[in-house]
Chains A and B, each alone.
Chain A
């Protein structure tokens, strides 16, 4: 009896040892990854954004907002119990770096989707990789090119606004109110050029006259030699088509030169973080466009829900414009996967194309031909003084509702239908 017990005990101990060592070996081997993937692996969403560099603040906000989308998806039970996970990489605002990181996300991390980018050029580099590999990519920064037939593929989605749409919306608002004689101060690269084209296309309906288009190099820190000429031409409106620090400095120095006294300053995009960094003085009275401002939560229920969720996760902070795009960019793909009940690219594409969604700013959907998200554009103006609530910096003065007619036509983009 005693002997038997000992024997069975020793067997079970031996068995235990083999099981443990086999388990340990398995855990250490690459098989484990495959094994897990076959069963209940998480759905990985690759997220290359420029964490370091001039747009680091926006990129970090994009990550925070994307995490909200992931958390909501997981709380909703995931995809038949499969949870999602955000895999963040720093693209350093460099197209080459972004392509390498994206490839790594696909090859090593085996991501199902890629969402991200914060530059026109970087998103095209990511898109090049994802379309070759057949991985769905949702771009969350502005570009007109990504919608064009030459860069587009069925795997490409564009959740951010298109410059043509943004500049057009701001133009349609401003040209009817402030006058027809327009001067441009433009950063000399794709983004600036696309914005000018957007303004001018929208301006045709108003018989807008372009007095001058001053092109300055990206990274200009002193605009004092560019402003006297603009001032001498006496335009009704000055469009400032640059981004980030260029925009902050241009607005600051235009204010110093007293330009605001004789003309209306507008910008295709006013950044929440830029306004906070440059202060009330520089941005006072400047009107511009944005995809999102947290203040619309008074009127739009989905905005309120998103803001509250974001505040809860981030110590009361509100999401920024580009940050919020991280949320919707991830959310649409995950909801598409859920609707398709699959991670198969073609099924998810069909499901995302069919989505009619209102996740944070009102109704949106992806246009079939170029997968551009058709959405509203907010026209905002900076509040004159620094308010008590430091996040309360803009007034929404107009909203252009989602309308496909404001986008470039599918034919103009080179698509067949």
Chain B
């Protein structure tokens, strides 16, 4: 292995953490919805894709990237609210596979609609000008935009944590996740709580799609790959644990990065190998509650 220097390994490690942050961002909406509602949202990747396309649409109307950062999560979140109210709500209490199958079908419908409206060919999505180029991080050059994505992910996590742990509404959400019946007896409108959680989860998915657009460009099928990655992160971290998703996302990123350095053709497989090992040793994932799926 020629050319392996300390700087390269350090940069590779950093690239892995940065990639991990992107995985965390992809997974967090999925994990939130599962943890609080026990709904496995197979349309997560489709909401992510819709976020990117809504961003593209706002840009075409003359908006800029910063406007998108605010409007895209709102638009996708509102869409998520409608989906929960009309499609998901009638399925609560019917077992975990009902909403799973519904969202699976929904993702196909959403992808097909985007194909019809925007066409099958992809679109470019330029990196916002102030975030273009690479900066020296001490051990090598790293794209400025990726550093921005790490910051944005941290901001999403921090506000989600503050919301869930430090507000009274967050307390109700957490209580509702543990025992919806008691919460209902206490006079809380649980249906409304779930509606809002689903809206937040899809809003974060849309936000992730927007942030991914300058990294990958847009095609209607872009949600497919991230759905698999988000599931691995969620499962490894423990279904429904946001802290677990963060740890798992970063770990997956570092594993991919280090595999890429020594055996790049194995990079994709390494994600699933890691998941297999974790599931054998600890079936509920890092911080998962056992029996959540049953």
Q: Which A residues are closer than 8 A to B by beta carbons?
A: 54, 56-57, 188, 211, 214-217, 219-222, 224-226, 228-229, 231-233, 245, 248-249, 252-253, 256-258, 273, 276-282
Contact = CB atoms under 8 A, between A and B. Distances in A.
Contact of B261 (A188, A216, A220, A225): A225
A188 B12 contact: no
B192 to A, nearest CB: 37
A219 B19 CA distance: 16
Given A217-B265, A225-B16, A281-B127, A231 B215 contact: no
Q: Which 10 A-B pairs have the closest CB atoms?
A: A279-B124, A258-B134, A277-B122, A225-B260, A256-B143, A225-B257, A217-B268, A215-B265, A57-B121, A56-B120
Nearest to B124: A279
Contact of A252 (B7, B15, B215, B264): B215
B141 interface: yes
Contacts of B126: 279, 281
B55 to A, nearest CB: 15
Interface stretch (B100-108, B216-224, B232-240): B216-224
B122 A278 contact: yes
B133 interface: yes
A220 B225 CA distance: 9
Contact of B19 (A225, A232, A258, A280): A225
A229 B120 contact: no
Interface of B: 2-3, 5, 7-8, 11-12, 15-16, 18-19, 22, 119-127, 132-134, 140-143, 145-146, 215-217, 219, 221-222, 225-226, 256-257, 260-261, 264-265, 267-269
A253 B215 contact: yes
Contact of A225 (B119, B123, B219, B256): B256
B264 A278 contact: no
Given A228-B12, A245-B122, A221 B216 contact: yes
Contact of A249 (B133, B142, B216, B261): B216
Contacts of A277: 121-124, 217, 219
Nearest to B127: A256
A224 B149 CA distance: 13
A224 B134 contact: no
Chain A contact residues: over half helix, strand or loop, or mixed?
helix
12 contacts: A56-B120, A224-B18, A225-B19, A225-B257, A245-B217, A249-B215, A252-B215, A273-B121, A277-B219, A279-B123, A281-B127, A282-B124
- Which one of B216, B217, B257, B269 has the greatest number of beta carbons of chain A within 10 Å? B217
A278 B134 contact: no
Contacts of B5: 232
Nearest to A51: B120
B146 A216 contact: no
Contact of B217 (A225, A228, A279): A279
B249 to A, nearest CB: 13
Given A258-B133, A279-B126, A225 B267 contact: yes
Given A256-B143, A256-B145, A222 B121 contact: no
Contacts of B256: 225
B11 A228 contact: yes
Contacts of A211: 3
A281 B213 CA distance: 14
A310 B161 CA distance: 58
Given A228-B140, A252-B216, 12 more contacts: A215-B265, A219-B225, A224-B143, A226-B264, A228-B11, A229-B3, A229-B261, A232-B140, A252-B215, A258-B133, A258-B143, A277-B122
